[in-house]
Amino acid sequence: MTQLKSLTTKEVARLCRVSDATIKRWEDAGLLKSERTSGGHRRFRAQEIAHFQREQGLGLKICYGDESTVSQAKRRRANKNHSKCELFQSLIAGCEEESANILIGAYLDGKPLTEIFDDLLCPAMCRIGELWFNGEITITQEHIATRAASNSIYKLRNLLPVSKMTGELATCCAMEGDFHELPTHLAQIIIENEGWEVLNFGANTPLYCLAEEILQHSPEMICLSATLMTDVERLSRDYKSFTEQINKLKIPIVLGGRAFNDERIRTRFPADYYVRNFSEVAELTQRLSKTM
């Protein structure tokens, strides 16, 4: 289900920022090619639309400081001083429209979502973390970049084709004390892309609260993320009582995030699965899906 699907007239119109009628006119005039469904509805190949957009300069708005951002001067400085990575530059400049365009462009070029997250977005965020760690950017610059990342992935999410729903539910969140919310957003989008519904509680979620939600909703998968653990002792005690509380439901627990790269941490947080990246989340979701 992760492969690229064809787009409806409405989706193409939204991407090109024109009306549905305009898309139909362009198609009638032979500017755009489409195929028809058995019901006679138009379907457009995403790659062709991406090509058309680039040729015509449609929809892919270049942004200099719109929405969230910073001044052009700062943006130019960021471009000059830092890496050549296009996405990294847009993020560091806080330019969410342009960052979204890069992610959407990659998607329309046929890159799977998992690769967009694992190979494009995460390395860019990692670079931002390194610069912050080395004192080359300030905390405020990191905050702006993270907000640009967060908002741009939601822009991408908004135009993903609606997957055929499997009727399965997953929850995801980051553990208490962990304020890194991007991993939970990314996991949510990947799981939704497999046709599951997702309740994403976001960052800093106490496990006793999560247990209540689990008992109430009885999901088919629990995805927990931890980038950093500030108090391993306390968290592992909370985790133990969490797993005891929900044990009878036999729901697979999936742990992910850089904290679990450490084997000693994994030993203290026993789980059904440990995932290292978003490709593994997609594979696991497919495996756990009862409708497969």
Tokens describing residue 252: 């697979």
Are 237 and 273 in contact, with CB atoms under 8 Å apart?
Answer: no
Using CB under 6 A, list all residues that contact ligand B12.
118, 122, 125-126, 128-130, 133, 142, 146, 177-183, 186-187, 223, 225, 227-228, 230, 256-258, 275, 277-278, 281
What is the Cα–Cα distance from 41 to 46, expressed in whole angstroms?
A: 16
Single-letter amino acid code for the residue at 273:
Y
To ligand B12, the closest distance from the beta carbon of 252 in angstroms equals 13
Residue carrying the six token digits 């990314």: 186
C-alpha Rg value of the chain to the nearest Å: 21
CB of residue 2 vs ligand B12: minimum separation in angstroms? Answer: 15
Minimum CB separation from ligand B12 for residue 13, in Å?
32
Read off φ and ψ for residue 78, nearest 5 degrees.
-60, -40
> Least separation, in Å, of the C-beta of 286 and ligand B12?
14
Q: What are phi and psi of 187, to 5 degrees?
A: -60, -40
Q: How far apart are the first and last CA of the chain?
A: 11
Q: Which is nearest to 196 in space by CA: 166, 161, 224, 221?
A: 166
CB of 99 to ligand B12, least distance (A): 14
Strands (E), 192-280: 197-205, 221-225, 253-256, 273-275
42 φ/ψ angles, rounded to the nearest 5 degrees: -75, 140
We find the least distance from the C-beta atom of residue 183 to ligand B12, in angstroms, to be 3
Q: Taking CB positions, which residue lies at the least distance from ligand B12?
A: 129
Q: Where are the beta strands (DSSP E) in 141-181?
A: 169-175
